[in-house]
A and B are shown apart, each in its own frame.
Chain A
């Protein structure tokens, strides 16, 4: 039986951030993820915003960790070579009622003495965002806000954790948990692990993991948000993240450029019952388009290249993060209810959880001398100048072979994604690492070539390759002539 100091359940951004923080210490750590890749849950389908704390409540744990993340997040992303563009956000009011709400918000913000948030009048808004709906009357400008790729951030945390000794098991769903004297036993679909501490970072399923030790302290309600993604040629119609005025439950629909240069519109907020139901709906998408058009009146519907939905994991009673030791099991720490801004707060959550772990029986936090930021940056051919591209091809001919035509991704980049410390094994994994298949043809042209490369590097037949693991096969068989 494999024996660890800490076992983390769940490989979203939160589990990965905890693993990465633990990697700084002399501890034996393993992370177990039920899907075939990290960032397969909520961490792959969200707005990708590094939120500025314009509606923060510092009394809550969520607020505290958000504020802490503002201090440590940008540096961490920089160390991990995760692209982060601090483009700033405008929270825009479109009616006099909204202006009144915004004024209230501004008064509260000033009391908190938050940096880098200022008031803009109509003219100033139009100046910064000429394409904005001309009903815009005022805005708050939060300069610290930025955009990141949520999955690249998660992969980067995971990769650097691996490079510092953490083990990651994929396709490993935790189905049993029990306390055995001074140890926890963790049963997955594949094998049994033993550890001193277990961290429950299972996102939408965190309450289910709690029930494995008879703990019914909290329940998760999934709250769905749907999105439209527009072609790259729309990404530059705006310069900032454009928020609506927040409501009680949500920051409302936003329009933002993504780090990759697309335009993202969404999310709405709808409570649902199933934790798997990441479907878009006609009604939800209509709501999103209307919300988007309130912000930018001439959204080019013909330029939509993707639709998706993500599920927030919410503890409704508190609307707060729930991070503490289980009442039923002193070796189990819940990290639950991580709704927005969980992506932003993840580094601070990691730090906080590691502090809790440090207080536990049998754990000593001794800094590891060899810890470092070893993750190599991802080279993006299409972002480079023609001279730099030419030089790369001279060094490695595979940069001269374009695989994905829409996003101009080269063979060298795909091979890199297949041979990194945390390699991609599915079409979805490749897409989220190097963007191949993420453009306007959505993989119609390059899917087959990428499958050939996956097959080659993971010793699979083309028929075994999937979109996202499990039963998501692409090809069902061979033709009669074969």
Chain B
């Protein structure tokens, strides 16, 4: 077993990990190790061969691999040490000390003793089992991301007569992709009365190919014992319960699921870092620092992002903050808690902590769609910030930057609430 001392370990080599490592390097952090379990850097972007990446960050439309490659090239120009095909098994923290255990076939087990850690492990897809669809358990049921990898990276097609459950972006993109590969995509079912994907994906991936989107519908039973043969679908009521009498059988040979992503926080949990039940990610302050000082989180491991541009931005923040921490080993001070109010599902960061940096970026999502909403920030009974936004959808993350003037008061109250009011 090798033991090594370093300044920063970044776990995960997707867009979040890449940007965090680069940001820390720019801030002159010396020994940075970037660990990725896959054989190459880039994370989930490798399989996203469609374009639509980088509009905000680079002002141009790139494919996933193109977006990733820019960062991979930049990292190659630095002295950031890259460990691919290496899996982190555990993070441990005690006082100021932190250890990261990683394995691969050439170095064996290595323990990195490090000053700071950035968590950038991304997310995984929710499965058929996790959403508890009853029925038999045949082959032919896949998550959309798995199929995306089979088709785009390996060149295999999983089936010919396909139904997609869930209108998440990956599902929409795969509806188009499988159609182009000659499979018959019968439709996309969504249990909610609205879609969970970006509007541009509904238009470009379904409407342009005449693939029906059935809202308020779900799969209630799976049939077939060896390979899937069909599903029973039904309409659901306002409480998302299937309405008796609306069931109908649909023959398929493949079922794709695009029913949500779950931040991959097993390592985080092992280190006993505080987690947010709603986001599934760590609880963080404005520097994306978790409940353990010196451990930061960014990208999909913190909250599921719909745009990679925001991932990069968040990772820059975390990387710079990690650099400051390594420099000064500062401990966390007084804090202001941020509580999500009316029609706010969650807010990142969940708290603001001294020393305060200004301005602060907030990312959040609505619980229900709203055509025009006024976002309000309240400290006690005082409203300190408001702004209007149009077309609010749970699927589209809202990002705003706010400068505050009255920190003293906020710290006194200790709490900041964010609410969204409908504007007619």
Binding site for B on A (CB under 8 A): 228-229, 233, 276, 278-282, 284-285, 301-302, 304-308, 386-387, 389-390, 393-394, 397-398, 400-402, 405-406, 408, 440-442, 444-445, 447-448, 462-463, 466-482
In whole angstroms, what is the CA distance A304 to B133 when docked? 11
Chain A nearest Cβ from B77, distance in angstroms: 29
Query: Can you list 30 A-B pairs with a CB-CB distance of less than 8 A?
Result: A229-B129, A278-B137, A279-B134, A281-B135, A282-B220, A302-B130, A304-B130, A305-B127, A308-B137, A389-B89, A389-B109, A393-B109, A400-B103, A400-B109, A402-B103, A405-B37, A408-B87, A440-B262, A442-B127, A442-B129, A444-B143, A445-B146, A448-B146, A448-B150, A467-B138, A467-B226, A471-B227, A472-B226, A475-B157, A478-B155
Is B101 at the interface (CB under 8 A from chain A)? yes
Contact residue range for chain B?
35 or more
Q: Collect the chain A residues with CB atoms within 8 Å of residue B66's CB.
A: none
Is B329 at the interface (CB under 8 A from chain A)? no
Q: Collect the chain A residues with CB atoms within 8 Å of residue B156's CB.
A: 462-463, 475, 477-479, 482
Q: Collect the chain B residues with CB atoms within 8 Å of residue A474's CB.
A: 139-140, 158
In whole angstroms, what is the CA distance A477 to B150 when docked? 11
In whole angstroms, what is the CA distance A393 to B132 when docked? 38
Taking a contact as CB atoms under 8 Å apart, the answer to whether A285 and B139 are in contact is no
Q: A307-B129, A444-B145, A447-B146 are in contact. Are A479 and B124 (CB under 8 A)?
A: no
Taking a contact as CB atoms under 8 Å apart, the answer to whether B269 and A441 are in contact is no
Chain B nearest Cβ from A415, distance in angstroms: 13
Residue of A nearest to B228 (CB): A472
In whole angstroms, what is the CA distance A284 to B149 when docked? 35
Chain A nearest Cβ from B28, distance in angstroms: 32
Main secondary structure of the interface of B (DSSP, over half): mixed
Q: Which of A284, A390, A441, A478 contacts B127 (CB 8 A)?
A: A441
Q: Collect the chain A residues with CB atoms within 8 Å of residue B37's CB.
A: 402, 405
Q: Collect the chain A residues with CB atoms within 8 Å of residue B129's CB.
A: 229, 304-307, 442
Tell me the B233-272 residues at the A interface (CB within 8 Å).
Answer: 242, 253-254, 262, 266, 269
In whole angstroms, what is the CA distance A402 to B262 when docked? 21
In whole angstroms, what is the CA distance A229 to B132 when docked? 11
Q: Which of B124, B134, B135, B145 contacts A440 (CB 8 A)?
A: B124
Query: Which of B89, B103, B160, B182 has the most chain A CB atoms inside 10 A of its CB?
Result: B103
Q: Collect the chain A residues with CB atoms within 8 Å of residue B182's CB.
A: 480
Q: Which of B103, B137, B254 contacts A389 (CB 8 A)?
A: B103
Tell me the B93-150 residues at the A interface (CB within 8 Å).
Answer: 101, 103-109, 111, 124-125, 127-130, 132, 134-140, 142-143, 145-146, 149-150
Chain B nearest Cβ from A225, distance in angstroms: 14
Q: Collect the chain B residues with CB atoms within 8 Å of residue A284's CB.
A: 134
Q: Collect the chain A residues with CB atoms within 8 Å of residue B158's CB.
A: 474-476
Residue of A nearest to B229 (CB): A471
Tell me the B1-50 residues at the A interface (CB within 8 Å).
Answer: 1, 37
Taking a contact as CB atoms under 8 Å apart, the answer to whether A400 and B1 are in contact is no
Q: Which of A279, A304, A401, A406 contacts B104 (CB 8 A)?
A: A401
Q: Collect the chain A residues with CB atoms within 8 Å of residue B362's CB.
A: none
Taking a contact as CB atoms under 8 Å apart, the answer to whether A482 and B106 are in contact is no
Q: Collect the chain B residues with CB atoms within 8 Å of residue A473's CB.
A: 139, 227
Taking a contact as CB atoms under 8 Å apart, the answer to whether A282 and B134 are in contact is yes
Query: Which of A386, A405, A479 has the most chain B CB atoms inside 10 A of its CB?
Result: A479
Tell me the B212-236 residues at the A interface (CB within 8 Å).
Answer: 220-222, 225-227
Number of A-B contacts (CB under 8 A): 149
Q: Collect the chain A residues with CB atoms within 8 Å of residue B52's CB.
A: none
Q: Collect the chain A residues with CB atoms within 8 Å of residue B208's CB.
A: none
Q: Collect the chain B residues with CB atoms within 8 Å of residue A386's CB.
A: 1, 89-90, 101, 109, 111
Chain B nearest Cβ from A448, distance in angstroms: 7
Q: Collect the chain A residues with CB atoms within 8 Å of residue B139's CB.
A: 466-468, 472-474
Is B73 at the interface (CB under 8 A from chain A)? no
Is B159 at the interface (CB under 8 A from chain A)? yes
Query: Which of A302, A393, A447, A469 has the most chain B CB atoms inside 10 A of its CB?
Result: A393
In whole angstroms, what is the CA distance A199 to B137 when docked? 30
In whole angstroms, what is the CA distance A402 to B226 when docked? 29
Q: A307-B132, A470-B226 are in contact. Are A481 and B155 (CB under 8 A)?
A: yes
Taking a contact as CB atoms under 8 Å apart, the answer to whether A402 and B87 are in contact is yes
Contacts A305-B130, A397-B105, A397-B106 known; 7 new A-B pairs at CB < 8 A: A228-B132, A282-B221, A386-B101, A387-B1, A440-B124, A468-B139, A479-B151
Is B154 at the interface (CB under 8 A from chain A)? yes
Q: Collect the chain B residues with CB atoms within 8 Å of residue A393's CB.
A: 103, 105, 108-109
Taking a contact as CB atoms under 8 Å apart, the answer to whether A441 and B160 are in contact is no
In whole angstroms, what is the CA distance A482 to B151 when docked? 10
In whole angstroms, what is the CA distance A292 to B104 when docked? 41
Closest 9 A/B residue pairs (Cβ): A390-B109, A467-B139, A400-B105, A390-B1, A472-B139, A471-B226, A397-B105, A472-B226, A482-B155
Taking a contact as CB atoms under 8 Å apart, the answer to whether A276 and B132 are in contact is no
Taking a contact as CB atoms under 8 Å apart, the answer to whether B124 and A472 are in contact is no
Chain B nearest Cβ from A109, distance in angstroms: 37
Q: Collect the chain A residues with CB atoms within 8 Å of residue B1's CB.
A: 386-387, 390
Taking a contact as CB atoms under 8 Å apart, the answer to whether B181 and A479 are in contact is yes
Taking a contact as CB atoms under 8 Å apart, the answer to whether B103 and A476 are in contact is no
In whole angstroms, what is the CA distance A385 to B285 when docked? 34
Taking a contact as CB atoms under 8 Å apart, the answer to whether B105 and A479 are in contact is no
Taking a contact as CB atoms under 8 Å apart, the answer to whether A480 and B181 are in contact is yes
In whole angstroms, what is the CA distance A473 to B150 when docked? 14
Q: Collect the chain A residues with CB atoms within 8 Å of residue B138's CB.
A: 467, 472
Residue of B nearest to A481 (CB): B155
In whole angstroms, what is the CA distance A462 to B134 when docked? 29
In whole angstroms, what is the CA distance A320 to B220 when docked? 36
Residue of A nearest to B128 (CB): A442
